[in-house]
Amino acid sequence: MTGGRRKEGVSISDLRRLHHQMPRWVIVLLILGLSAVVASRIPHLLMMLMAASFVSYIFSSIIRALERRGVKRSIAVVQIFVIFAIIVVSVDLFFAPSLKQEMVTAYKKLPEFSRIEGTILASVQKSVADYPVVESNIRKFLDNMFGPGGFLERNLNVPEILGQLTPFLMGIILVPFFVFFLLKDWPKILRKVMDWVPPSYVETTISVITEIDILVGKYLRGLAADCFFVGVLASLGLALIGINYPIILGIVSGVANIVPYLGPITGCLASCLVALMQFNSFDNVLNVLLLYLAIKLTDDLVIQPLMIGKSVELHPMLLVITIIVGEKLFGISGMILGVPVVTATQKTIGILLEHRREMLRRERPGILIRSHPDKLPVRPI
């Protein structure tokens, strides 16, 4: 009977298992395909989901900490939202007046942007008076940047900015909504996924989930803390050297710091521009440059090793390529999330290759995939 149930070395149970597994892979492919179509058609939705995942990851450790103390997950999530609302209101009460003042002053001084060309030229003219070629090139660059039809005018298109405002406002409402349900229902989602995974893939799936959780969680939480410290340091430093709008510039520097390499440069450039407008000389720009250099060194040598550690071990070249490709595909969110996504993919591929080797070894036990000739186990005495 047993022999009759076997067909060319494959048992009925094997075929049944294969039959049960096949549709799952088809469903996985369908889900991936559908996600890709949705992502390309509605990029804002993808951005919102990415932002929600990012925020959920940051808060998940607090939720877990509360759960460990016996608090219901749903109550813990509500607690977090209430605390966050209190913080927002407090910040609004204590910091909003000075922030508002900074923004009003900055808005009033916006026309000075048009005068910046002349300011920079006047400062540069002295130093490059003997080099007409350099002067004409700088003038051409400044015309392209600030002149009529230049980079600034092209990119500061008011109708376009207003057009971008709708998804932004939608995001303000939808991201917290997604965050709430991601935080509340994550264990249920995970349990559903695990119920769906065939037994032979359980260890591999768990290794992927655990490795990604440790790696991406550490990276995103570290990055949030890193940005906070950079923002605070930039604000304090700029206030100390007397640059206008230190809070706004600190926030810009902190947020921009999310993007590796390019972020710190953006924050520094914004502050340099304000310093140039304020003092009409390059001396204070040098102070700003030195300040940002000191912040970058502190960040690289102290903050990042402590906060992010070695969670992301991407080659610098691959890192830059990831940022560029991420920006091309998904804009700013692609630049921010490209690095953890590529690192997680790298890790996942490694684990899947190991799983494949394992399967191969199980199918052909005679083949030794990995040996430890110098590490033969010695029976303990």
Binding-site ranges for other proteins (CB under 8 A): 64, 67-73, 75, 190-191, 194-195, 197, 199-200, 202-203, 206-207, 209-211, 214, 358, 361-362, 365, 377, 380
Is the CB of 15 or the CB of 161 nearer to other proteins? Answer: 15
CB atoms within 10 A of CB 132: 9
Is the CB of 135 or the CB of 358 nearer to other proteins? Answer: 358
Angle made by CA atoms 363, 28, 191, in degrees to the nearest 5: 90
Six-digit token string for 324: 């560029």
Is the CB of 64 or the CB of 115 nearer to other proteins? Answer: 64
User: Could you tell me the smallest distance in angstroms from the CB atom of residue 198 to other proteins?
Assistant: 9
User: Could you tell me the smallest distance in angstroms from the CB atom of residue 344 to other proteins?
Assistant: 14
Rounded distance between C-alpha atoms, residue 200 and residue 283, angstroms? 66
Is the CB of 111 or the CB of 199 nearer to other proteins? Answer: 199
User: Could you tell me the smallest distance in angstroms from the CB atom of residue 44 to other proteins?
Assistant: 32
User: Coil, strand or helix: which one is 7?
Assistant: strand
Return all residues near 45 (Cβ < 8 A) that are at least 6 apart. Answer: 38, 39
Cβ-in-10-Å burial (0-12, 13-18, 19+) of 106 comes to: middle
CA distances (Å), 133 to each of 43, 117, 125, 139, 282, in order?
Answer: 45, 18, 12, 10, 21
The upper half-sphere exposure of residue 30, i.e. CA atoms within 13 Å in the direction of its Cβ, equals 6
Is the CB of 148 or the CB of 380 nearer to other proteins? Answer: 380
User: Coil, strand or helix: which one is 128?
Assistant: coil
Rounded distance between C-alpha atoms, residue 115 and residue 105, angstroms? 16
Rounded distance between C-alpha atoms, residue 276 and residue 286, angstroms? 10
User: Could you tell me the smallest distance in angstroms from the CB atom of residue 187 to other proteins?
Assistant: 8
How is 248-311 classified by DSSP, letter by letter?
A: HHHHHHHHHTTSTTHHHHHHHHHHHHHHHHHHSSHHHHHHHHHHHHHHHHHIIIIIHHHHTTTS
Is the CB of 13 or the CB of 155 nearer to other proteins? Answer: 13
User: Could you tell me the smallest distance in angstroms from the CB atom of residue 273 to other proteins?
Assistant: 43
> What is the four-CA torsion angle of 215, 221, 227, 229, rounded to 10 degrees?
-120
CA distances (Å), 200 to each of 302, 358, 362, in order?
Answer: 43, 11, 11
User: Could you tell me the smallest distance in angstroms from the CB atom of residue 233 to other proteins?
Assistant: 26
Is the CB of 184 or the CB of 264 nearer to other proteins? Answer: 184
User: Could you tell me the smallest distance in angstroms from the CB atom of residue 77 to other proteins?
Assistant: 12
User: Could you tell me the smallest distance in angstroms from the CB atom of residue 210 to other proteins?
Assistant: 4
User: Could you tell me the smallest distance in angstroms from the CB atom of residue 178 to other proteins?
Assistant: 22
